[in-house]
Amino acid sequence: MWQSLSPMLNEFQRESATTRRVLDRVPADKLNWAPHPKSMTLGKLANHIATVPAGIARIAQNDVHEIDPAAFATQQPKDKKEILDTFEGSVQTAEQFIEGLTESTATATWRLKANGQEILAIPRVELVRNIMLNHWYHHRGQLSVYLRLLEVPVPSIYGPSADENPFTQAH
């Protein structure tokens, strides 16, 4: 692994633990619930969060990814176990991908195309930073709002939530 990626891998591992805490709170009996007709269901959102790391690792292995905008759809999981199992495998796949990056592969240009048209051309490390991590955190934030709307206690993410304060809990 390129040494410059060590802080990113450490961040990914810390954030994986946080994401697991949020996914653990997903109520298994509410996977078909959605806050609005235009919103993903709770199950689809949780499943998307579970699949992001491996999905990005998979597409980042090639220099060019051709996306079919019409085929982009998040799957509804059959149960909570599927979400958690998918998440564990996804995290492992992403860790292995990051660990396998060299300086030349990390800094090489990665391209996203749709219908043959180039949409994006960025260094592969930016794909990992912006899409794997930032995109992942964005959806985890959405999931915490879903939990709040369902009256599920929201875990601490970067500090206290209205339900959990890591600074006052006994260790």
pLDDT score for 169: 67
Mean pLDDT over 9-23 rounds to: 97
Confidence of residue 40 (pLDDT cuts 50, 70, 90): very high
Whole-model pTM? 0.93
Confidence of residue 145 (pLDDT cuts 50, 70, 90): very high
Mean pLDDT over 91-112 rounds to: 96
Which residues 6+ apart lie within 8 Å of 138 measured at CB?
A: none
Rounded-to-integer distance, Cα 54 and Cα 60, Å: 10
What value does the mean pLDDT of the chain take? Answer: 94
Which residues 6+ apart lie within 8 Å of 115 measured at CB?
A: none
Would you say domain 3-149 falls under CATH 1.10.1760.20? no
Mean pLDDT over 23-43 rounds to: 98
Q: Which of 9-13, 39-43, 98-102, 166-170 is predicted least confidently?
A: 166-170
Which residues 6+ apart lie within 8 Å of 132 measured at CB?
A: 12, 52, 53, 56, 57, 60, 94
